Homo-oligomer: A and B are copies of this chain.
Amino acid sequence: MKENLYQYILEIADNCLILGQRLGELCGHGPNLETDIACTNISLDLLGQVRSYYQYAAQVMEDGRTEDDIAFMRMEREYRNTLLVEQPNTDFAFIISRQFMFDLYHYLFLKELQHSRDLSLSAIASKSIKEVSYHLRFSSDWMKRLGDGTEESQRRMQAAINTLWPYFEELFEISDAGKALIKEGIAVDTKGLKKDYLNSAREYLQEANLIMPEVEHFMKGGKSGVHSEHMGYILADLQYMQRAYPNMNW
């Protein structure tokens, strides 16, 4: 039970950590000042949520590990984020498409997590959903501006969506820990959410003059710790300070 809850918290929080790290790489590199600050703010929101989750995870385990240990001292196979969030910042179309695909999921997911019987998780969900509804507004607005923009921006958005779409399904995959906790009313049963996600995504994409790709084979593995080639480089950057100065503090 304790181990399942710990794993489940990681599944939620690691998506936020790795996407936050990816967005953080952009700090100072956005296409204009407003967007730069927006992406960095979203990164900070996600990392703030990560702290709440990891603090709770540390409390669940009761073995002295801290939020920093959980964030920085795990090996690659122990991270439970989906492959989507580790995909690189190829161009702004990729950044926005990745963000939109995650935000829509994140919003629908937190809406349900608010009703979790685990009061810590439902409290974090209620607090986070306000931020995430803003993230979704930001990314879906940009989907429309660029998808329904110039020929060039439309072409690049469609290319990004085509490349990233095979990664959406893993968001809804249910792990063994998830299965056990759904029975207890703690975890979200994402099976039902997938239909909502597809319906909603289709509307957003249509409005953005983009075609939802038809994909037969989906990419997965991250949730069970089998990551893409990008993950090692992300962790090398992310973990460097704690690895170089173990147990450092501000």
Q: Which residue numbers of A lie inside 8 Å of B, CB to CB?
A: 75, 232-233, 235-237, 239-240, 243-244
Contacts and interface: CB of A to CB of B under 8 A. Distances in A.
B243 A244 contact: yes
Given A236-B237, A236-B240, A239-B243, 11 more contacts: A75-B244, A232-B240, A233-B237, A235-B240, A236-B236, A239-B240, A239-B244, A240-B240, A240-B243, A243-B243, A243-B244
Residue with the highest number of chain B CB atoms closer than 10 Å, among A75, A233, A240 = A240
A200 to B, nearest CB: 38
Contacts of A236: 236-237, 240
Nearest to A75: B244
Contacts of A235: 240
Nearest to A233: B237
A199 to B, nearest CB: 41
A240 B244 CA distance: 9
A143 B235 CA distance: 36
Contacts of A240: 232, 235-236, 239-240, 243
User: Which 8 residue pairs are nearest across A and B when measured between Cβ atoms?
Assistant: A243-B243, A236-B240, A236-B236, A236-B237, A243-B244, A233-B237, A75-B244, A240-B243
Contacts of A233: 237
A243 B246 CA distance: 9
Contacts of A244: 75, 239, 243
A236 B243 CA distance: 9
A182 to B, nearest CB: 34
A77 to B, nearest CB: 12
14 contacts: A75-B244, A232-B240, A233-B237, A235-B240, A236-B236, A236-B237, A236-B240, A239-B240, A239-B243, A239-B244, A240-B240, A240-B243, A243-B243, A243-B244
